[in-house]
Amino acid sequence: MPLYKTIHPNSQTIVKIWQITESYDELLQPLDLKPNSLERVLGMKSELHQRGFLSVRHLLRDFGYTDQDLYYDENGKPHLRDGKHISITHSFTFSGVIVSDAEVGIDIEKQRPKIAIIAKKFVDYEFNYLSETDSDYVNKLTVIWGIKESLYKLFATPGMLFKTHFLVIPFVMNDGETIAWIDYKQKKYRYHTHFLEFEGFTCAYVTA
């Protein structure tokens, strides 16, 4: 079972990352899916998405949960029936789940140079410390995107914009952490953020 990495950011929080090497059938066979989950996975046109969806259910099992313990609210945010907080992500051949006593968010992204083309769509304040000539420019952009995606998942409020409402404090790649803020409707919220790189991917996650 390809559990790739387990991280304990604090005493209340666990992150698990899965490397998806199994076939669709291998992933599906041992799972007990709710009818609507089975309908959802069968309706997916991409086997990559199907395998990502199923690998998340294997991560749930590793946490001691089943598909029946997971449900989604009207904004599409996942919840656990025992009241713990959860966030989910999958990208190509990796998936990740974070579970905590407090609000959390997680994102995995493949590192791709084309992120520089769309940087102006999600970066504002961060341009003050970014430079296109830096050798780690794409890596830093990927971290910023991952943090902002994680914040969006955590807050789960329609109408929030990456560029306008989320702010990532300057960071050094080797540090693997920084602070991020949500500035929304004249209120500010501060979050701890962590990030790591592996196999050409970036994982970022945020905790309260």
pLDDT digits (tens, 9 = 90+) for 130-146: 999 999 999 999 999 99
CA distances in angstroms from 16 to 45, 90, 108, listed in the order given: 26, 12, 12
pLDDT digits (tens, 9 = 90+) for 161-198: 999 999 999 999 999 999 999 999 999 999 999 999 99
Q: What is the CATH number of the domain that holds 184?
A: 3.90.470.20
Domain span at 66: 3-102
Q: What CA–CA distance (Å, rounded) separates 109 from 174? A: 18
Q: Please give the structure tokens belonging to residue 206.
A: 């945020």
Q: Domains in the chain: how many in total?
A: 2
Last residue of a domain, one of 74, 102, 130: 102
Question: Is 4's pLDDT higher than 90?
Answer: yes
Question: Is 1's pLDDT higher than 80?
Answer: no
Last residue of a domain, one of 41, 75, 102: 102
Residues 74 and 128 in one domain: no
Residues 127 and 68 in one domain: no
Last residue of a domain, one of 102, 136, 152: 102
pLDDT for the residue 21: 96
Residues 119 and 145 in one domain: yes
Q: Please give the structure tokens belonging to residue 200.
A: 């050409």
